[in-house]
């Protein structure tokens, strides 16, 4: 299972799950640009969830952990631009 959401504070949240012994683990990344695929994204912050009994729980946990990491990063948008406009990261 995978999902790309956002932008959240100017970052996209790319998350996916992997089956592990006893359940599923979620992986997530905070991306400045919208990635094509969650599992191949290059992120500003990478997280791993705990082991969960189903894929949706693992995915949501990874997304939540990415948002917590994004809250610690500087915004990827200018506060005086139109909502949804991203700042060039160069």
- Asked if residue 84 belongs to a domain, the reply is no
- Asked if residue 43 belongs to a domain, the reply is yes
Which pLDDT does position 16 carry in this prediction? 96
- Asked if residue 35 belongs to a domain, the reply is yes
Cα 48 to the center of its chain, rounded Å: 11
Of 65, 77, 64, 78, residue with least CA distance to 7: 77
How many C-beta atoms lie closer than 10 Å to residue 53's C-beta?
Answer: 10
Cis omega (within 30 of 0) on the bond before 19?
no
> E strands within 1-76?
2-8, 11-20, 23-31, 45-52
Which pLDDT does position 85 carry in this prediction? 57
Quote the domain boundaries for residue 10.
2-70
pLDDT tens across 53-72, in order?
999 999 999 999 999 999 99
Q: How confident is the model at residue 42 (pLDDT cuts 50, 70, 90)?
A: confident
Which pLDDT does position 69 carry in this prediction? 94
- Asked if residue 85 belongs to a domain, the reply is no
- Asked if residue 90 belongs to a domain, the reply is no
pLDDT reading at 2 higher than 80: yes
Please state the domain count of the chain.
1
């Amino acid at each position: 299972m995978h999902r790309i959401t956002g932008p959240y504070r100017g970052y996209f949240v790319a998350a996916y799950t992997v089956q592990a012994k006893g359940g599923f683990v979620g992986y997530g990344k905070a991306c400045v640009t919208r990635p094509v695929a969650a599992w191949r994204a290059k992120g500003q912050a990478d997280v791993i969830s705990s082991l969960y009994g189903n894929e949706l729980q693992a995915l949501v946990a990874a997304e939540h952990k990415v948002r917590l990491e994004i809250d610690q990063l500087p915004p990827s948008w200018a506060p005086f631009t139109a909502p949804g406009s991203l700042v060039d990261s160069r």
